[in-house]
Amino acid sequence: MASSSVINSKVWKGIWRAEASPKCKSFAWRAYMEELPVKTFLLEKGVIEDKLCPCCGEGEEDTTHALLACEEVKRIWFVALDLKVESLSAATKCSLSQWIEECVSTLDKKEMGMVCAIMWAIWHRRNALVFTEKKLDYAHVIAKARSMFVPVEWQPPSHPNVKANFAAAVRDNVGTGMGVIFRNSLGSTIASGTSLLAQECFESQIAETLCMSWAIEQSGELGLSDVIFETDCQRLYRKWNQESSSSSSAYTTYFESLVEDCKFMIEGTGSSLALVRPSANKVAQCLATLAFDYGERGWIEEVPQEASLYLQADDNAIADIVAAHQ
């Protein structure tokens, strides 16, 4: 049987190789080492007098219950990030540390990153309830986890999907530049384009949403469906997921109305919105800046010369990923 130090070393490496933010990986390690200030721990220290879970009010809140076994969080594990947690009921009979060891042994870096992000978001939800008495819904927790697990480099979509990376740039007293690039599962450019809203300046999240609306229109003109629209605007992405979970169609702000319009535009097309880090959206960002020079313009199967270096950088990153898996 492997010693605890060997197991700890394996888990440490598995967590820190995961594709997640350092904040999420650090949290996962603390959870594995039973270092979280759960109520059973605080009770032993004499800090509190009650050890019941603040979320469900039934079980004793130890680390396993807080992040895995609580009825309030089980649903999150089933639906978050498309991660299939097999036999969750059976899994919760072991400790969280044992479960993390199993995850490290069976999941790849991307899936392990999902685990770290979900655990961090579940704990964030718990703390919001404890310290602010605010109960976050499941969609908010999932969006929070997704915001912490986003690609650092551009990756091609799976066939037959198309990716449309879009971005907006705002210059005071000048206007709003918009850029979009469509690429297929081979990473090949289908089309790219720029647009300029002269003398129209908006807050960043409104500009990004207007850009998405324009990008959706462009996808329709190209006859594309199953498009994954990618943005690096976290405010847009969070609002998109919040609106998706809302049972009410009412909205109160211009930003919210724009999001609703975009959702209506892609309804029934098989398209979706995904979040990426700015480093995975460089081509679109470049096109948005170029819009101040080019105005309304489009390119088929190519990008303007000024954006070619960013496109080549994405191609090189794809080649490195392929080489690493050979």
Between 20 and 249, the more confident residue is 20
pLDDT digits (tens, 9 = 90+) for 224-282: 999 999 999 989 998 988 744 444 455 579 999 999 999 999 999 999 998 888 999 99
Please state which CATH number belongs to domain 162-324. 3.30.420.10
Report which of residues 89 and 194 the model is more confident about. Answer: 194
The token duo for 191 is 């089309």
CA dist., res. 164 & res. 222, Å (int): 12
Residue 199 carries which DSSP code?
A: T
Here the tokens at position 80 are 């978050």
Mean pLDDT in the chain?
87
pLDDT of residue 1: 46
Q: How many CB atoms lie within 10 A of CB 166?
A: 28
- Under a CB-based contact definition with an 8 Å cutoff, are residues 192 and 298 in contact? yes
pLDDT at 4: 73
pLDDT for res 178 = 98
Angle at Cα 291 formed by Cα 289 and Cα 297, nearest 5°? Answer: 145
Burial of residue 50 (CB within 10 Å: 0-12, 13-18, 19+) is: exposed
Domain boundaries, the chain: 4-148, 162-324
Q: Is the pLDDT of residue 312 over 70?
A: yes
- Band (pLDDT 50/70/90 cuts) for residue 303 is very high
Summarised one tens digit per residue, pLDDT across range 183-224 is 999 999 999 999 999 999 999 999 999 999 999 999 999 999
Reported as a single tens digit per residue, the pLDDT across 52-61 is 999 999 889 9
User: pLDDT: is 325 or 302 the higher one?
Assistant: 302
* DSSP of 244-293: HH-S-----SHHHHHHHHHHHHHTTTT-EEEE--GGG-HHHHHHHHHHHH
